[in-house]
Amino acid sequence: MNEAEFTDEVRQKLADLYGSERIGVGHSLANTRLRPDLIIYETPERGSIFIVVEVKIGNESNERFRSGRQQLIEYLQNTEAQYGAVLTPTIDHIFSYGSSDEEPTILSSFPGTQANNGSRPLDSAVEARFLLRQLLDDLEVHDPYNYGSELKSDIFLALLYQLIAEREGIQIDVSSELEDQLEELQNPLKSYFTTLEDIDIAPSDIETIRATINYFGSFELSQTSADVASGFFDELVGRTELGPEQLSRKVARPMVDFAEVESNDRVLDPASGFGVLCREAASRGASVTGVEISESATIVAVFLNELGKQSSSVETVCADFFDWSSNDQTASDSSQTRLGSHGSGSNSDNTGSSGGSELFEHIVLNPPIGDRISADRIPELHSSRSRIRIEEGFIARALSLLKEGGTLVALVPEYILAGDQSRNLRNYLLHQATVEAIITFGGGVFSDVSFRGAVIRIRKSRSPSHQAIATVDVSSDSDQNGPNDISTAIKMVDDDRADVIQINPQEIRTLLPSQIQGERDVLDELYSQYDAVTKLEEVAAIESGTTREPEQNDTGLPYLDTTREVDIGDLSLRSPDDVSTVATPTDVLISVKGGDTNVRRVERDVIPSSRWAVVKFDSDQRAGQYQSFFESELGNKILEANRTGSAIRYITISALRDLPVPDFSTGV
């Protein structure tokens, strides 16, 4: 259907509502380019304008729709008309806009008709998403400096107030008495949603509350069908300006599938955010607990759970996961360890309360990444470091809350599988549980996951001396033979069509499947070409380049801070004082960060940056032998097989020390 055909359809619809004699073609406003498609007059005599109408086809989020809506608002500002409507094949966007209004007031139906005899539920997820998008866009235009996570909290707080007002039979008035009304509703709100008892539910900005009620106040949220909740959530996903990135339902669904969640299972999400994994697990009939530290995200989750009719199945707890899980929790592996009582969701007799004596059958986890916490808070790992990655803490603690035989499914960055700093965690997993499957993915597989990573499944069971790990690599590259989505990869694992890697937990250094297989392949090739093989640390000392940029010094040494081919004489001179490493002509330099692996020698002493590892030999002859080896096809394969990294590819110093190389000291 083209726009002209749709306009005729709209004209007939309006004629049925108001009478054909009141419907006219829009005319230009004097001295402007503003011209709506259709006009509805107040009377058949066509005197005063009642409603101005713009007709659009296509996506409601595109620029033509937004510009049409803005033109209607400008038209209303310059005429006596009070109502506007932008109509598409899927949305009737009807609003009033007075001369003193900052934002439009959204109407659930056309004014002045028999159909407009009260509020109605939201029709669809499309309508909910559309209205939230328009509200967010309007708020950003009017107050860009305060456009952030507090805004998100206020919007969903307003929606919760509206829900409770509907249940109390109260009509919220957006006039000057709005603050008094909200104060009166606080106790009913906290009584119904007990999760909010310890959360500050005073709005940050009353005008955001007012604008939200103007948008949604004419709809009956309490009567809206459960599937509409997805529209609110889908609009929030990807809006990183509103807080931490959230998983989409497209990612959450296969993760819950992978965890093998069934009806009546007890499920935990330790970092639940807006609750997408919780609601997905609840849709399988499970009893779910979600723990979230952010009050803002908790408010969003409580609303979405309620609107989605899942409050009785999902217990939302606003708490620090490590404090929550340590309350009467000794982190033992006993399935009878008691957790403390930590609050509840909305009115329900949820028997899955965390105060129960049993642990969880399944845990699904999308941990926060990038932060660090004190290692003392995670005694499970016995780390020698003072601080560890927070995602490692989430995984280790989650495993301690799992019942014997239960499954943990987690979305993790690639460095968790292969990074040197995460070796403690890998050892803990391999000795406390069984790693059943690892599904790796690169950039482009998920629009809302920006790093290289993996979905892993771990079963709480005695770790056998040898483990068989099902592995699948997912890629968005159409030239690759494997699957391009996680759901297909999971089915391959479940149907026993995945590749299987046998490992010995006592000997394994990495859990990255491509690295394990790559190391084995190059090791086979190495033994086929050389009679004697050893570790690099057995024939050389390996040091990292200096991590701090040295001060400039005209009598110092050249500072090599690039992996490009450069003349040493062109480098700036820096002071060798307090420098951790100096490379000499008998050393081989190997690039360890970013790009392709480069190997080089230097004709004089230089100060290498941390972009380089310095492999120190005792003679020029030996350095030449290993330089030639690392520059060979096989040597390059060995180096590449040991590179890791979720975003920037790198080789760790410990990996270089364990690197298999020919033993030239035997005369090979």
Co-location of 258 and 177 in the same domain = no
Residue ending a domain, choose from 212, 236, 260: 236
Give the span between the Cα atoms of 461 and 406, in whole angstroms.
Answer: 8
**Strand runs (DSSP E) across 22-137, as ranges?**
23-25, 38-41, 49-55, 83-87, 92-96, 105-107
Q: For 162-205, how does the pLDDT look when each residue is reduced to its tens digit (9 = 90+)?
A: 999 999 999 898 887 899 999 999 999 999 999 999 898 888 88
Q: Which of 60-69, 386-395, 411-420 has the lowest mean pLDDT?
A: 60-69
> Binning pLDDT at 50, 70 and 90, where does residue 347 land?
very low
> Binning pLDDT at 50, 70 and 90, where does residue 79 land?
confident
> Binning pLDDT at 50, 70 and 90, where does residue 647 land?
low
Token digits of residue 354: 């965390």
The reported pLDDT for the residue numbered 357 is 41
Q: How far is CA 512 from CA 66, 433, 509, in A?
A: 47, 17, 9
Residue 498 sits in a domain whose CATH number is 3.40.50.150
Give the span between the Cα atoms of 173 and 165, in whole angstroms.
Answer: 11
Give the span between the Cα atoms of 138 and 336, in whole angstroms.
Answer: 52
Residue ending a domain, choose from 100, 118, 136: 118
Co-location of 7 and 114 in the same domain = yes
Residue 76 sits in a domain whose CATH number is 3.90.1570.20
- For residue 648, give the nearest of 577, 592, 578, 574 by alpha carbon: 592
The reported pLDDT for the residue numbered 459 is 96
Give the number of C-alpha atoms closer than 13 A to the C-alpha of residue 36, restricted to the C-beta side.
29
Look at residue 198 and give its three-state secondary structure: helix
- For residue 384, give the nearest of 417, 421, 414 by alpha carbon: 421
Partner residues linked to 106 by β-bridges: 95
How confident is the model over 293-320, as a mean pLDDT? 94
Q: Decide if 559 contacts 638 (C-beta within 8 A).
A: no
The reported pLDDT for the residue numbered 338 is 31
The reported pLDDT for the residue numbered 631 is 95
Co-location of 210 and 66 in the same domain = no
Token digits of residue 347: 């009115």
Look at residue 99 and give its three-state secondary structure: coil
Q: For 558-605, how does the pLDDT look when each residue is reduced to its tens digit (9 = 90+)?
A: 999 998 889 999 999 999 998 989 999 999 999 998 778 899 999 999
Co-location of 223 and 281 in the same domain = no
The reported pLDDT for the residue numbered 313 is 94
- For residue 220, give the nearest of 159, 139, 178 by alpha carbon: 159
Question: For residue 215, what are the domain limits?
Answer: 126-236
Is residue 127 classed exposed, middle or buried when 0-12, 13-18 and 19+ CB atoms within 10 A define those classes?
buried
Total tally of structural domains belonging to the chain: 4
- Segment of 231-235, 293-297, 515-519 carrying the highest mean pLDDT: 293-297
Co-location of 273 and 195 in the same domain = no
Cβ-defined contacts of 503-509 (< 8 Å, 24+) = 503/466, 503/467, 503/468, 503/469, 504/465, 504/466, 505/427, 505/430, 505/431, 505/463, 505/465, 505/466, 505/467, 506/465, 508/426, 508/430, 509/423, 509/655, 509/658
The reported pLDDT for the residue numbered 117 is 57
The reported pLDDT for the residue numbered 335 is 35
Co-location of 465 and 326 in the same domain = yes
Q: What is the mean pLDDT of the chain?
A: 87
Co-location of 526 and 506 in the same domain = no
- For residue 265, give the nearest of 340, 188, 181, 361 by alpha carbon: 361
The reported pLDDT for the residue numbered 164 is 94
The reported pLDDT for the residue numbered 34 is 78
